[in-house]
C-alpha cells in the first residue's frame, strides 16, 4: 500500500488496488494469527498436569514405558486406538498413553480435558447400533446382520439382512422392524419387536423338486440387550415369523438367535 | 390374507401402546423445558459466583478400523489346493477384542474320482468357484514387539479368530464355521502385514455321504488402520 500522492487524488483503480492489497494482508494476517487459535480449539495439544506422563511403545498394557514427559510440558495428540492415545512430545518422541493418564492432562489455558470412554449411559442413549447374530431358524442355520437407529431411548427402528442355510433349502431374508425397550437404562434391557419383510427361498441343488420363491413375512419377538463393555453389547432374541405363502396355508417359523453388537 | 391384517393391527397396537412416556418426545412434542428456577431462598446470604468450568472433549483422529486385502492358498477337501484371495475389515473394540468380516474366493480342482474316471464331471466349472464370507470375533492373545537390528522395533500381535458365515461351492450355499490364528506385524502405527491360518468347516454330500469338510487356508495380507 503506497501512500497517496499529496498532489493528485487517487483514482478509483488505485483505490481498488489498495483495497485488494488490504484484504490480502488481512487474510494472510488472519490465517497466520488464527492457526494457533484454531489448534487450541481442536485441542490437539494438552499440558501434563501429573508429575509425569508415561509413553509406551505400543497401545496395550504390556508394552514397556520408554519415555516420560514431565509436568508442565505439552504433548500433541496424533491419534486414538481403542483406549490408547498416540502422543508426540515437544522433543519429538512418539508413544502410546492410556486413557486414565490422558484424563489428568489440561488444555493449554489450564482447563480440564475430557477423554470420556463409552459407558452405560451411551448404551442407553446412543443413536446407532450395528451387530451380528446367529442361531436357529425353524431348524436351519441363520446368520444375520442388523443396523439400528434410535428415535429415543425407548424406540428404535432396525433393518435386518439374514442368510438362511438349511438341509433342504437356502435363502435370504430382509426385514424392517420397530423395537420397544421399556427399561433402556437397565444393564440387561428387555425389548419387544414387531416387523415385516420378505424371504427368498431356494431349494438345495440335490433336491429335485421345488422352485425358487419370494414371500412376504411378518414377525413378532422379544429379547434382551446386555451391556458388556465400552461400546460392546450382547443380544439374544426370539422371533415368531408368519410366512404369507401363495399356498392355502401360511407357514409359521420360530427363530432363536444370539450375537453381539456395538453402538456409536 | 387374514394374517396380514393381524400383523398390521399388531403394529398399530404396539406403537400406540408403547407408552406415552416413550413416544411423547418422538416428534419433538411434549414438555422438554425444565421447570423455572425457584426464587432465591430468603435465608441465602452468599450468592455463589463460581463459573462452571467447561470441559472440552478433544477431536482426535480415531483409528479403530482396519481394512485390507490378502492372497494365499486354500485347500478344498477332495478338490485340491488353489490360489485364494480376499478382503477384510476389522473393528477394534478394545486392545484385546476385535470384530472382523472377510470375503474371499478360491477355485476347486478335480477330485481323484474325476481324474481316474476320465471324462466324468461331478460339478460344472462355474460351480467349482468357491466364494465365502465370514463374520468373526478376534482376540489379540500375545501382543509383543520384535527387533530388527539395534535400531528398529516393530509391534506385533498373535491373535485367534472364530466365527460364522457362508460358503458357496458346488452349487449350494453352505453354513460355515471358521477358526484360526494370525500374526499381525505393524510396519508403523497405521500399516500392518498379516499372516493367517484358518480352517473353514462346512457339510457337503457331493461324494455320496454327508460329511464335514475341513478346508484349510493360509494367506498373507496388508491392512491399513483408519
Q: Which residues contact A109 (CB under 8 A, 6 or more apart)?
A: A40
Q: Are A193 and A239 in contact (CB under 8 A)?
A: yes
- Characterize the bridge pairing of strands A65-70 and B191-204: unpaired
Determine which of A39-53, A96-110, B19-33, B207-221 has the lowest per-residue pLDDT on average: B19-33
Put simply, whether the predicted model's pTM sits higher than 0.80 gets the answer no
The residue with greater pLDDT, A228 or B194, is: B194
Residue ranges of domains in chain A, CATH in brackets: 45-106 (2.30.30.40), 122-263 (2.40.160.20)
Three cell numbers written together for B122: 461331478
pLDDT score, position B23:
47
Q: State whether B19 and A182 contact (CB < 8 Å).
A: yes
pLDDT score, position B220:
96
Mean pLDDT of chain A: 81
pLDDT score, position A4:
43
Closest by Cα among A32, A197, A227, A211 to A125: A227
Q: State whether B7 and A85 contact (CB < 8 Å).
A: no
CA distance B73 to chain A (A): 26
CA distance B41 to chain A (A): 32
Residue A191: pLDDT over 90: yes
Q: What's the whole-number mean pLDDT along residues A225-241?
A: 91
Domain spans in chain B, listed from the N-terminal domain onward: 65-225
pLDDT score, position B55:
63
Fold of domain B65-225: Porin (2.40.160)
Mean pLDDT of chain B: 82
DSSP state, A253? E
pLDDT score, position A2:
43
pLDDT score, position B43:
63
User: Which chain A residues touch B144 with a CB distance below 8 Å?
Assistant: 62
From the centroid of its chain, how far is CA A3? 58
Give the rounded percent of residues in chain A with a pLDDT score beyond 90. 38
Helix, strand, or coil here: A16? helix
- pLDDT of A159-168, one tens digit each? 999 999 887 8
Q: State whether B3 and A42 contact (CB < 8 Å).
A: no
Q: State whether B144 and A62 contact (CB < 8 Å).
A: yes
User: Which chain B residues touch A59 with a CB distance below 8 Å?
Assistant: 95, 155
Q: What's the whole-number mean pLDDT along residues B19-25?
A: 47
State whether residue B93 sits within 8 Å of chain A by CB: yes
Burial class (CB in 10 A: 0-12, 13-18, 19+), A131: buried
The ipTM (two decimal places) reads 0.71
Query: What is the rounded distance in angstroms from the CA atom of residue A43 to the CA atom of residue A22?
Result: 31
State whether residue B170 sits within 8 Å of chain A by CB: yes
SS3 sequence, B185-201? Answer: EECCCCEEEEEEEEEEE
Amino acid at each position: 500500500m503506497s501512500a497517496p500522492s499529496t498532489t493528485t487524488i487517487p483514482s478509483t483503480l488505485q483505490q481498488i488496488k489498495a483495497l485488494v492489497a488490504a484484504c490480502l494482508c488481512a487474510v494472510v494476517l488472519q490465517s497466520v494469527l488464527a492457526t494457533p487459535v484454531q489448534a487450541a480449539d481442536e485441542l490437539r495439544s494438552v499440558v501434563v498436569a501429573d508429575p509425569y506422563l508415561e509413553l509406551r511403545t505400543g497401545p496395550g498394557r504390556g508394552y514397556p514405558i520408554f519415555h516420560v514427559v514431565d509436568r508442565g510440558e505439552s504433548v500433541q495428540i496424533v491419534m486414538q486406538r481403542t483406549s490408547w492415545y498416540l502422543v508426540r512430545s515437544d522433543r519429538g518422541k512418539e508413544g502410546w498413553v492410556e486413557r486414565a493418564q490422558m484424563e489428568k492432562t489440561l488444555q493449554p489455558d489450564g482447563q480440564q480435558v475430557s477423554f470420556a470412554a463409552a459407558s452405560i449411559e451411551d448404551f442407553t442413549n446412543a443413536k446407532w447400533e450395528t451387530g451380528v447374530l446367529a442361531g436357529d431358524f425353524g431348524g436351519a442355520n441363520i446368520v444375520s446382520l442388523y443396523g439400528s437407529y434410535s428415535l429415543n431411548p425407548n424406540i428404535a427402528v432396525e433393518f435386518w439382512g439374514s442368510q438362511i442355510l438349511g438341509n433342504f433349502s437356502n435363502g435370504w431374508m430382509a426385514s424392517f422392524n420397530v423395537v420397544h425397550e421399556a427399561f433402556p437404562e437397565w444393564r440387561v434391557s428387555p425389548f419387544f419387536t414387531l416387523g415385516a419383510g420378505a424371504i427368498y427361498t431356494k431349494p438345495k441343488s440335490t433336491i429335485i423338486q421345488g422352485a425358487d420363491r419370494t414371500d412376504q413375512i411378518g414377525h413378532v419377538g422379544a429379547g434382551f440387550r446386555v451391556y458388556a463393555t465400552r461400546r460392546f453389547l450382547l443380544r439374544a432374541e426370539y422371533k415368531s415369523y408368519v410366512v404369507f405363502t401363495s399356498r392355502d396355508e401360511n407357514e409359521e417359523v420360530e427363530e432363536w438367535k444370539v450375537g453381539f453388537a456395538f453402538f456409536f | 390374507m387374514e394374517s396380514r391384517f393381524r400383523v398390521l393391527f399388531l403394529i398399530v397396537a404396539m406403537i400406540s401402546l408403547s407408552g406415552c412416556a416413550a413416544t411423547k418426545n418422538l416428534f419433538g412434542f411434549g414438555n422438554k423445558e425444565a421447570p423455572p428456577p425457584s426464587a432465591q431462598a430468603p435465608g441465602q446470604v452468599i450468592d455463589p459466583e463460581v463459573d462452571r468450568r467447561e470441559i472440552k472433549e478433544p477431536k482426535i483422529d480415531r483409528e479403530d478400523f482396519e481394512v485390507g486385502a490378502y492372497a494365499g492358498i486354500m485347500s478344498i477337501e477332495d478338490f485340491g489346493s488353489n490360489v485364494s484371495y480376499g478382503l477384510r475389515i476389522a473393528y477394534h473394540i478394545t486392545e484385546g477384542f476385535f470384530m472382523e468380516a472377510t470375503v474371499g474366493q478360491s477355485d476347486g480342482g478335480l477330485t481323484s474320482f474325476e481324474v481316474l474316471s476320465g471324462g466324468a464331471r461331478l460339478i460344472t466349472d462355474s460351480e467349482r468357484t468357491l466364494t465365502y464370507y465370514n463374520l468373526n470375533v478376534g482376540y489379540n492373545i500375545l501382543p509383543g514387539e520384535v527387533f530388527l537390528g539395534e535400531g528398529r522395533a516393530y509391534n506385533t500381535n498373535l491373535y485367534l479368530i472364530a466365527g460364522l458365515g457362508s460358503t458357496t461351492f458346488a452349487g449350494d450355499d453352505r453354513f460355515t464355521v471358521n477358526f484360526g490364528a494370525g500374526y499381525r506385524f505393524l510396519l508403523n502405527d497405521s500399516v500392518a502385514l498379516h499372516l493367517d491360518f484358518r480352517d473353514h468347516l462346512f457339510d457337503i454330500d457331493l461324494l455320496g455321504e454327508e460329511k464335514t469338510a475341513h478346508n484349510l487356508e493360509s494367506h498373507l495380507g496388508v491392512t491399513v488402520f483408519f
